[in-house]
Amino acid sequence: MELSLLGFINLIISLNMEYQKIILMLIVTSICVYWIFFLPFEWKERYSLHAGKESILRNDTKRLTINRFRKAKQHSSNKMPPPYPNGEQLVVYRTQNNKVFIVDAYCPHLGANLGVGGRVDGDCIVCPFHQWSFRGSDGKCAKIPYSASVPRSAQVKSWTSQEINGFIFVWYHVDSTEKPWSLPLTINDDQFIYHGRNEFFVNCHIREIPENGADNIHFNSIHNECFMSGKMGKSSKFFQYCHHKWNSSWIPSKNYKHFAEIKLSHALQIFGKFYCFRMDISGLQVGPAYVCMEINSSIFGTFRIYQTITPIEPLLQKVIHRFYGPRWLAPFMKIFILGESIMFQRDVTIWNHKDLLQNPVLAKEDTSIKKFRMWYSQFYTSNSKSLTDEAISIW
Ligand code: FES
Ligand SMILES: [Fe+2]
């Protein structure tokens, strides 16, 4: 027998009060269980220091961009390392066979943007202007609908890419000499399901964000106050007896030159005496903007966080953390995502307002920052674009 929604409501109304209460409780409990265990938790920090809401950010005005550069010029006491690894305009598309291709955005015919109004046809992307088709695998023009011949130079650049853990990575090297790295780090385990993510827009140089992993001192400095007391500078008396304690180290990997290893241990200290929520975190930094972290806790088992940094502009980065763990951990993961987001906001506050010092005055205990900068310099060559080159290419 099929029961319509109206019929179901009528049936409930006709029941006595006791049954109505039980049914209501069942419905509310089911919704809560569904929300807690099956819906990912997403935290989006839509605000950026200079651009305001993301809607404004997307259509960022020239004035705001100029202001960012002006600020960078005024406040950077010395020469900045190349700020932005490419400045290319690319189109990413997925075929019906689930293959992902990345090609240059501008059509070699008359320059239309393939990503604005273009459509996918088989493995090709079709230009919205005169319908030329370009193959994703090699970028060659496969068809011109109104011509029997295709000019030999009708081609867009096809970029090497890899899809992994729900992210699409593109290989870029300014000199095109180094062989693409492979990214072997897949979730590769049915036990690990996606629990949610957070997203932030940060106004800083791209190097500042991964440098955080090598800045061992900052953990006990800005991540010491209980996450429940909120963002930086919002310390609450209520949580004054609850602190996070950290121990960390950073070293370049012995296996691959573009890897570095972060070891971090955490404990929550209560009343200055008792320790709980101990966690050991191993992070693998892969290249300039990708970090994979595995967290081991004696109570909660193992879960993972993946961090990516996408340069939007020379001094504007989009940072995403994605969280994976067993299904049963879902209630804890929601609290963990909230805590990590608040902790990361404290870093964002610092980055949004800090200066980038090329020759900082370091204490003896800060040596890993120096090592990090030497390691990070491998991601630039003498041909990397400077801040001024980038500024010119933007307007
Ligand atoms: S501009 Fe792309 S087909 Fe003409
Ligand atoms: Fe931090």
Domains of the chain by range and CATH? 41-83+186-394 (3.90.380.10), 90-170 (2.102.10.10)
CA-based max dimension of the chain: 81
Provide the pLDDT for residue 92.
Answer: 96
pLDDT of residue 50: 47
Can you tell me which residue has the tokens 């929604």? 5
Both tokens of 228, joined, read 């429940």
Note the Cα 360 to chain centre separation in Å. Answer: 27
Kindly report the backbone phi and psi dihedral angles of residue 104, in degrees, each rounded to the nearest multiple of 5, phi listed first: -60, 145
Predicted pLDDT at 395: 46
Residue nearest to atom 3 of ligand 1 (CA): 130
Cβ atoms within 10 A of the Cβ of 327, count?
12
In this structure, are strands 193-202 and 316-325 parallel, antiparallel, or unpaired? antiparallel
C-alpha 391 – ligand 2 centre gap (Å): 29
Nearest Cα to Cα of residue 297 among 305, 289, 309: 305
C-beta of residue 319 within 8 angstroms of C-beta of residue 312: no
pLDDT tens track for 280-309: 999 999 999 999 999 999 888 999 999 999
For ligand 2, a single-atom ion, the residues with CB < 5 A are 212, 347
Q: Give, using CA atoms, the residue closest to atom 1 of ligand 1.
A: 110
Residues of the chain with pLDDT under 70: 1-3, 46-81, 83-87, 184, 188-189, 232-236, 238, 388-395
pLDDT of amino acid 88: 80
pLDDT at res. 62: 58
* ∠ Cα 323 325 329 (to 5°): 110
The burial of 269, by beta-carbon neighbours within 10 Å (0-12 exposed, 13-18 middle, 19 or more buried), is given as middle
Give the pocket of ligand 1 (CB within 6 Å).
Answer: 107, 109-112, 127, 129-130, 132
Question: What secondary structure letter does DSSP report for 115?
Answer: T
What is 128-150 written as a DSSP string?
Answer: TTT--EEETTT-BEEE-TT-S--
Handedness of CA 217, 219, 224, 230 (dihedral sign): positive
- Best substitution site from 114, 129, 144 to test ligand 1's pocket, by max atoms within 8 Å of Cβ? 129
